[in-house]
Amino acid sequence: MNILSIQELEIPEIKIIRFAKFNDERGYLTEIYNENDFEKHCDFLKQYKFKQVNETFSLKNTFRGLHFQFAPPMGKLVRLIYGKLFDFALDLRPNSPTYKHIVAYEVQSTCEFSEWIWLPPGFAHGAWLLENSMLEYFCTETYNPVSERTISIFSEDINWTKCDPQIITEFSKIDKTTLKIKERDLQAMSISDWEKEEASKIFLNLAY
């Protein structure tokens, strides 16, 4: 696996891992994951083992999230297979200096390279798909529906000051009447609602 670069976003625990594709007249070949190369270049992943892999297909103008799991806390390694993806990460770790902050990134997938975005446990994840798109998730835990929660992307207590201004501008143009989003996501809780749950303390001592 040829890892080209590792980039930190404005919340430094969110990482972008860019890796190369090898092209010829037939198309391309790439390793999307190689344990040895990840251990060599991605120290931040050494404490984790991936236990579940998910694939999702979404129609154009879909928003999924902001979803998270607290028992056990789940980290996600997400990549775009094809389409157009703005990926969102909301910090829900109460001791973190970026608590309540959200960041977003346009994850790339081209003929020359692709990218993973890493969201450690303690973050809520959202995906805004601007074209018909397919995503793949490597998860550090198996899914537990009892401990899944959702923060509304439209919650007023999210802090957007660390988010890419261009993505904020694009997102502000969303028409909620045509956006493909589940009602449970649209009407989901705020961060302050989540803080009222005893389970919110589970994220208190996660590393940052």
Q: Which domain holds residue 21?
A: 3-203
Confirm whether 54 is domain-assigned.
yes
Does residue 98 lie in a domain region?
yes
Residue 22 falls within a domain, yes or no? Answer: yes
Mean per-residue pLDDT over the chain, rounded: 94
Is residue 196 predicted with pLDDT exceeding 70?
yes
Q: Please give the residue that has the higher pLDDT: either 102 or 40.
A: 102
What is the mean pLDDT of the segment spanning 197-205? Answer: 90
Q: Is the pTM of this model over 0.85?
A: yes
Q: Is 93 contained in some domain?
A: yes
Domain assignment present for residue 198? The answer is yes
| Residue 208 maps to a domain | no
Active site residues: 67, 137
Q: Encoding tokens for residue 103?
A: 């960041």
Structural domain total, the chain: 1
- CATH of residue 82's domain is 2.60.120.10
Proportion of the chain above pLDDT 70, given as a percent: 99
